[in-house]
Chain A
Amino acid sequence: MDHTKTGSNGVRRARVTRRNIIKGLGAAGALTASGVMPGAMRYVQAQSSAPIKIGFQCHRTGIGASYGRWYQRTTLAAVKVINDAGGIGGRQIELIIEDDGTDPKRGAEVVEKFATEHKVDFVFGTLFSHVVIGSAPTAGQLKMPYFVVSEGHHVASGKLNRYVFQPGITDVRSQVTSMAPWIAGNLGKKVTMIFPDFAFGHDHRNYFSAAIAAQGGSAVGLIPIPPTETSFTRYFAQIPAETEVIYHVMVGPGVLTFVKEMGEHFGSKHPQIFGFIDSLEAVDMASPGLEFLDGTYFWEAYPRYAQKDQSASDKFYRQAVGVNDMGAAVDDPKDVSTYSHMFGCWETLYVIKAAVEQSGYQSAAPKDKAALIEAVEAMTDFPEGNEHPQGAKKFSGQLHQAFGHQSISKVENGRLNVVHRTSIEDGLYEPEADYRTHPL
C-alpha cells in the first residue's frame, strides 16, 4: 500500500467551504506523478483523476453532538493525512459532511441525499445505533457501501445487509465478552448493570449478563434508564444490597450528571465500580464531583491518557488529530475527546483506502461496488501501525465486523492507567450470520 505515498509530490491543499466540502486539489498533480510509477500500479494508471467522494454522516446536532464533533475532527485529520500522502490509489478524497441530527429518520434521508444528490462513492462515520439501524436499509436499497463506526452489535448480529460494514471498531458483544472474565476474577461476581434503554444498552445487558453467567457470576440487578432522562439519583436506589460490582454505561448529554449523582449517592463507600468509558466520553476527569471515581475501573477501547509504553503510532495519531497526552484538544485542554470511539473513523478510512486499492474500484458502477465489497469481505487482519493506531485487529468478512484488543484502566489521581489489556481472542464469539450469502 506504500505506493500511494510516492504519488504525493503534487500540489497539496485542503479547503473547507461553507458546505464543508474538502476538495483535494492535488488530485491532478498526484495523477501526473503516478503516471511515471512502475507497472505494478495498474489501477492507479488506469483510473480517472476525479476525487473519491466519501459522504460523512455526522451527528453534528442532537444527543450525539459531542461524539460528532470529535468524529469530524478525527475524520478531517485522517483525510488530510491520506490526501497529503497521495490520496487513495492516487485519487484525492473529497469529504462531504451532512448532519443527521442524531435522528434515524434524518439519517436515512442523509444516506439518500449522499447517494442521489452528492453521488458519493461511500457513506461512512455513523455512531448512534438507532441512526445506523434507521439508515442501513436505505444504504442497502441504494446499494451504497456504508461503513459505520458505531460499536453496536447490530452489524455482526446479521440484522443489517451486505452493504454495511464495521471495520474500524470492535462491537459491544465482543467488548463485554472480553471484560467478563476480568471483572469476575478481580472485582466480584454479583453485578448490577445500569444501561441506556435502547439497542446499544440492550446489547450490553444481553451479552454481558450471558458472559458473566459463563464466569459463574450473575447480573443481580438490571437498571435500564430512558434515553431522555436528565436526573439519575432515583435509579441508584434500585441497586440491590448484595451487589458487589456496579457496571455502568451511559451516553448522551447527561453523562456527567449521571456519574456525579452516582458519586453523591455513594460517596467513598461503594461497591466496586466498573464503567464503560462511554459514561465519561468527552467529560473532563477533573470535573468537580468525580473524585470518588479514584480506584474504580473503566473499559477503554483506546487509552485516553498516553501510557508509559505509548506506541509511535499513538503519538503520530494524537498529533495528527490534535489531541494532547491527557486526551483533550491541544488548543483547549478542557475540550476532552471521545478517544475510545473516534479512532474508528481514522481506521475505517484506511480500510476504505485499502479496499479501493485492492479491488480496483473506479466508479460507483455496480460491478466496481461488488468488487469493493468482496475485497472488504476478503480482509482478515489489520496490523498495528499508523493506519491502525489503536492496535491490531482481526476482521470477519462473514460478520462484516472487526475485533480488536480492549483495555481496562484504573482511575488513579484523576488519570486513567491501563491495568489490563485483553487479547483479540478474548472477545471472539460464535458467529450468528454470514453476510456473504446475501445477494449483492
Chain B
Amino acid sequence: MTGVTPWRDWLLHLGVIALLFGLQFVLPPYHYSNLSKIMVMASFAIGYNVLLGYSGLLSLGHAMFFAAGLYGAGLTVYHLGFDPLSGFLAGLAAGLCLSIVIGMVALRTSGVSFMIVTLMFAQAGYLLILYFGEFTRGDEGFVLKENLLRVVIGDWGFNLIEPVARFNLALLLFAVCLFGSLVLVRSAVGRVLIAVRENEQRTTMLGYHAFLYKLLALVISGTMSGAAGATYALLFTYVGATFGAIQYSILPLLWVLLGGAGTTLGPLLGTILMFYLVDVSSGETSSYMLLVGAALVILVLWAPKGILGTLREKKVPWLP
C-alpha cells in the first residue's frame, strides 16, 4: 500500500461519480429509474462493507439498520408531518441510535455468534414492525403521498419523486457514502480497523482499544445503512416490513461479496450486477432468487474476494 498517491484514488472515485452523473442524460427512463434505486441500495452496501470489508465482522442483521432509517423517516413524515429533510434526519438518527445500542451488546461476541446475534436482533426488529401494525401497517406498509414530499427552499421548490430530483439526490447520498468510506479507509482509524480485522489480539497489545474501533465501524456502517433506508422511503415513497425481513440482511452481504469486500467500489459494482441479473432473469422464470443462492455459493467457493478484490490481487494493486 506504500507509495500510493492519493490523487489517483480521488481521480478514480470522482470519475465514477462523474460517470454516474453523466449517465442521467443518456439513460432511457426504465434504466434511469433503476439506477436511482441502485445508487441508494449501493449506499446501503457501502455501509455494510465498512463493517465486513474493513473490520471483518459479518453481520446477518443489517436489514434492521436499513429499516430503522426507512421507518425513522417514513413514520415521522407520515404520522407527525415532518418535512422531508427533518424526516431524513430522523431516519439517520434512528440508524445511529440503533447501531450504538446493538453494537454495545452484539460486539461482545464475534465470529459465528456475532452473525447469529445480529440475525436474531434483526428478526426481533422485523417482528416489532409487525407487532406495531397500527402505526407501521405491518406487511402491507404505507405510502408517503406526493404532497408530503415537497421540498421548498426560498422561492424554489421541487418534489422528491420527480425523476431528476430522485436521481440526483440518490447520487448525492451515494457520493457522500463513497467518499466517506474512502476517507475512512485511508485514515489512521481505517488502518487500525484493518489491523483489528487481520489480528485483533496483536492490535490490542499495541495499545488500541479494539472494542471501541469495532463499535465505531458498526456505528458508521449502521448509520450509512439507516441513511440509505431513510432516502429510500423519501424517494421511493413505499415503507413496508419487507425491508426488515432476512432477505434484506442477506442482499447487502451478497452485493459486497460479489463486488469485492474491502474495496470501495465493490459495493456499487455488486449491486448493479445483481440488480440486473435478477431483473433480466425475473422475465424468464419465477425462480429468480435461485441466482442469489447460486451466486453466494459460487462466490464463496471460487471467488471469495469478489470481482474487484480479485482484480486488485491480480492486476491493480493500488485499488482502494
A residues with a Cβ closer than 8 A to B are 18-19, 60-61, 98-99, 103-105, 108, 112-113, 116-117, 129-130, 133-134, 136-137, 141, 197-199, 226-227
Binds A, one of B213-221, B251-259, B279-287: B279-287
Interface string of B233-273 (1 = CB under 8 A from A): 00011101011000000000000000000000000000000
Cβ contact within 8 Å between B138 and A104:
no
Q: Contact at A130–B139, with CB atoms within 8 Å? A: yes
Shortest C-beta distance, A133 to chain B (Å), equals 6
B140 pairs with A108, CB closer than 8 A = no
Contact of B238 among A99, A108, A113, A197 (CB under 8 A): A108
Is chain A's binding surface mostly helix, strand, loop or mixed?
Answer: helix
Once A129-B140, A130-B140, A133-B143 are accepted as A-B contacts, the answer to whether A104 and B33 lie under 8 Å apart by CB is: no
Interface size on B, residues (CB 8 A): 28
The answer to whether B283 and A98 touch across the interface, beta carbons within 8 angstroms, is yes
Cβ contact within 8 Å between B33 and A116: yes
**Given A108-B238, A116-B30, A197-B133, A134:B141 Cβ within 8 A:** yes
Contacts A/B (CB < 8 Å), 18 sampled: A60-B286, A98-B283, A99-B286, A104-B139, A105-B238, A108-B236, A108-B238, A113-B30, A116-B29, A116-B32, A117-B30, A133-B141, A137-B143, A137-B145, A137-B238, A141-B146, A197-B133, A199-B137
A18 to B280, CA, bound (A): 12
> Chain B contacts of A18 at CB under 8 A?
284
Q: A99-B282, A116-B33 are in contact. Are A137 and B237 (CB under 8 A)?
A: yes
Question: Cβ of A137: which chain B residues have Cβ within 8 Å of it?
Answer: 143, 145-146, 237-238
Residues in B neighbouring A134, C-beta threshold 8 A: 140-141, 143, 238, 240
Partner of A105, one of B133, B138, B145, B243: B243
In the bound complex, how far is the Cα of B140 from the Cα of A105, in angstroms?
10
Residues on B with C-beta less than 8 A from A98 are: 282-283
Measured CB to CB, the nearest residue on chain B to A137 is: B143
> Contact at B139–A61, with CB atoms within 8 Å?
no
Report the separation of the CA atoms of residues A83 and B138 in the bound assembly, to the nearest whole angstrom. Answer: 41
Min CB gap A322→B, angstroms: 21
Q: A103-B242, A104-B242, A105-B243 are in contact. Are A133 and B140 (CB under 8 A)?
A: yes
- Chain A residues positioned under 8 Å from B29 (CB to CB): 116
The 8 closest A-B pairs by CB, nearest first: A130-B140, A116-B30, A117-B30, A116-B29, A137-B143, A61-B286, A198-B140, A199-B140
Q: A104-B240, A112-B33, A198-B138 are known contacts; what are 19 more A-B pairs with Cβ within 8 Å?
A: A60-B286, A61-B286, A103-B242, A104-B140, A104-B141, A105-B238, A108-B238, A113-B30, A113-B279, A116-B30, A116-B33, A130-B139, A133-B141, A133-B143, A134-B238, A134-B240, A137-B145, A141-B146, A197-B133
